[in-house]
Amino acid sequence: MIWINTDCFLASVSYKESIDRYIGYLPTDKLHTELKYDAIRDFIQRNPGSHLRRIKKELNISMGTVQYQLNRLEKNGIITSSKRGFYRYYFPVAIKGFDREILEILSQDTVSQIILFIIEKKIPTQVEVAKEVGISHASINWHMQRLIELDVIEEFKDGNYKRYRIIGNHERWVNMLAFMKNYYPSLWNKWSSRITEFFL
């Protein structure tokens, strides 16, 4: 295997630009292949919890090539993956357990919106969550059951209403905010001022 250090390029230009610049100097298909291997590995390091279509779109590499390189990375013990619903999510091998589950959740806009709304409102009803997120009650039910299975939230009855609240210790949710800040800065910028007091 040939390893190419792309860090100097990746720090200053997009992944596609860095790939295009290197490819202009590559004499063989082998180097071309290894460059894409390195770029996908580095992308997952910087964006844990990404799924295949996101990697394809942001690196502008063909679907077949991304799948091939992801399989190589997983076989080499550099990344791991898990499938939920229609998507398979990829992580550096060092990220495990609850940290991995949280990153997987935060990578999905609808689910992260639900969690952050529950954090902000403390114990919202299902109706309030559905209205905030803008999806059907059937879809809300599906997402809620998944979050309950992951021990992220719990459901309880309040008269005729279903309400939800965050569960888990303080430390795990402080870690969640740290992951959000490091890996999803746009999400952090949008929500940080609204949810910080929940953890004080």
- CATH number of the domain encompassing residue 183: 1.10.10.10
Q: How confident is the model at residue 76 (pLDDT cuts 50, 70, 90)?
A: very high
pLDDT at 181 over 50: yes
Distance, CA of 104 to CA of 122 (rounded, Å): 22
In a domain, 2, yes or no: no
Query: How many percent of the chain have pLDDT more than 70?
Result: 79
Q: Name the one residue in this structure whose structure tokens are 């609808």.
A: 110
Give yes or no: residues 156 and 77 share one domain: no
Q: Are residues 73 and 113 in the same domain?
A: no
pLDDT at 53 over 60: yes
- Residue 160 is assigned to a structural domain of this protein: yes
Same domain (yes/no): 46, 72? yes
List 90's β-bridge partners, or say none: 50, 81
Which of 26, 24, 198 shows the shortest CA–CA distance to 117?
198
Distance (Å, whole) CA 10 – CA 8: 6
- Identify the residue with better confidence: 108 or 141: 141
Domain count, the chain: 2
Helix (H) or strand (E) holding 154: strand 153-158
Separation in Å, CA 135 to CA 21, 108, 131: 43, 14, 7
Please list the alpha-helical segments (H only) found in 80-136.
Answer: 97-106, 109-121, 126-133
What is the pLDDT at residue 66?
94
Side chain identity at 106, as an amino acid letter?
L
Is the model's pLDDT at 16 over the cut of 70? no
Q: What percent of the chain has pLDDT over 90?
A: 32
Q: 166: which strand partners? A: 153
Give me the domain span that covers residue 158.
101-199
Report pLDDT digits (tens) over 77-124: 999 998 877 788 999 998 887 778 777 777 778 888 898 889 888 899
58 and 147: one domain? no
Q: Is the pTM of this model over 0.85?
A: no
At residue 185, the pLDDT reads 79
Cβ(99)–Cβ(179) below 8 Å: yes
**pLDDT, averaged across the chain:** 80
Q: What amino acid occupies position 59?
A: L
